[in-house]
Amino acid sequence: MSGKVSRRDFLKAGGAGLAGVAFSALGIGSVLGSETEASGDGKNNVEELVYVCPVCGEKAENFDALQKHFKEKHAQLDAPASMALHINGADVEVYVEDHWTLRETLQRAVGLTGNAKEMCDRGGCGSCTVLIDGKPALACTTLAVECKGKKIETSEGIAADPKYRPLVEAYVKYDASQCGYCTPGQFTVAKYILTKYPNPTQEQIRTELSGNICRCGTYSRHVQAIQEAAKAIKGGNS
Ligand code: FES
Ligand code: FES
């Protein structure tokens, strides 16, 4: 996919998904930073994608300008480097530092808020689980630079895929999301389960979700939701 899609559209597509709101096509363009501004109607609108210095917040017109700004204002720091990542079906050029985890990169450079939000940030809870080349992986213990050339899927991308609409609806129906902290990771693994098992058993679901901790105790609801979604999706692999 090419061309810029506003961060607002990107977040709206996935973020609204679990609340049962209609989905829109999901896509992202070259996002190094973006700006959210309050409009007169009280909603937050992204006026345009902008390049923001992660040190001082100054805006730059483009990536070259951001690098120039770094040389002039932050000469003691490494100038930003960009890297191509493939996220939710789109090629994205992101600003990334070598030590950034994938979770940090999804949050800081792409602006995602589902799997990317900071939870334990040490591989203990599973809330940051994304799919990398179709397999669950913890974004908080994976370096972004390790993901070059790999296919990354987050809950936002899965929720926006019409094929997985039944999964979203089943999550809503069974109230599988309470506080919601663990939900993006559980939801992402749910997609993995549906691609692996056409008709997953309780045991298979519980085993696959065993690394995802829910302090609200929604465990049995994920089983119900995933089994119902499996009937609708009929185990078709993507
Ligand atoms: S935030 Fe990654 S495992 Fe908890
Ligand atoms: S819904 Fe609250 S932590 Fe799982």
Instruction: Look up the CATH number of the domain holding residue 133.
Output: 3.10.20.30
The CATH number of whichever domain residue 185 belongs to comes to 1.10.150.120
Residue 238 lies in a domain: no
Give the domain range for residue 24. 7-158
Whether residue 178 is found in the same domain as residue 146? no
Whether residue 188 is found in the same domain as residue 102? no
Long-range contacts of 45-54 (CB under 8 A, 24+ apart): 45/8, 46/6, 46/7, 46/8, 48/6, 49/4, 49/6, 49/7, 51/95, 54/80, 54/95, 54/108
Distance 189 CA to ligand 2 centre (A): 15
Length of the chain: 238
Query: Is the shortest distance between the CB of 30 and ligand 2 below 6 Å?
Result: no
Is the confidence at residue 30, as pLDDT, over 60?
Answer: no
Whether residue 114 is found in the same domain as residue 60? yes
Give just the sign of the alpha carbon dihedral 54, 60, 66, 71.
negative
Instruction: Identify the domain boundary among 125, 158, 191.
Output: 158
Confidence of residue 227 (pLDDT cuts 50, 70, 90): very high
Whether residue 39 is found in the same domain as residue 148? yes
Whole-angstrom distance, CA of residue 207 vs CA of residue 196? 13
Residue 60 is predicted with a pLDDT of 79
With the most atoms of ligand 2 within 8 angstroms of its CB, the residue from 214, 219, 222 to mutate is 214
Whether residue 148 is found in the same domain as residue 184? no
Is the confidence at residue 193, as pLDDT, over 60?
Answer: yes
Whether residue 56 is found in the same domain as residue 133? yes
Segment 103-148, tens digit of pLDDT: 999 988 888 889 999 999 999 999 999 999 999 999 999 999 999 9
Query: Is the shortest distance between the CB of 215 and ligand 1 below 6 Å?
Result: no
Instruction: Identify the domain boundary among 158, 179, 209.
Output: 158
Residue 208 is predicted with a pLDDT of 98
Residue 2 lies in a domain: no
Whether residue 135 is found in the same domain as residue 41? yes
Whole-angstrom distance, CA of residue 48 vs CA of residue 35? 7
Residue 1 lies in a domain: no
Domain tally for the chain?
2
Distance 125 CA to ligand 1 centre (A): 5
Query: Is the shortest distance between the CB of 235 and ligand 1 below 6 Å?
Result: no
Whole-angstrom distance, CA of residue 103 vs CA of residue 140? 5
Residue 83 lies in a domain: yes
Is the confidence at residue 68, as pLDDT, over 70?
Answer: yes
Query: Is the shortest distance between the CB of 120 and ligand 2 below 6 Å?
Result: no
Contact 141, 122 (CB under 8 A): yes
Distance 117 CA to ligand 1 centre (A): 9
Whether residue 80 is found in the same domain as residue 101? yes
Distance, CA of 10 to chain centre = 10
Confidence of residue 21 (pLDDT cuts 50, 70, 90): very low
Instruction: Identify the domain boundary among 139, 158, 177.
Output: 158
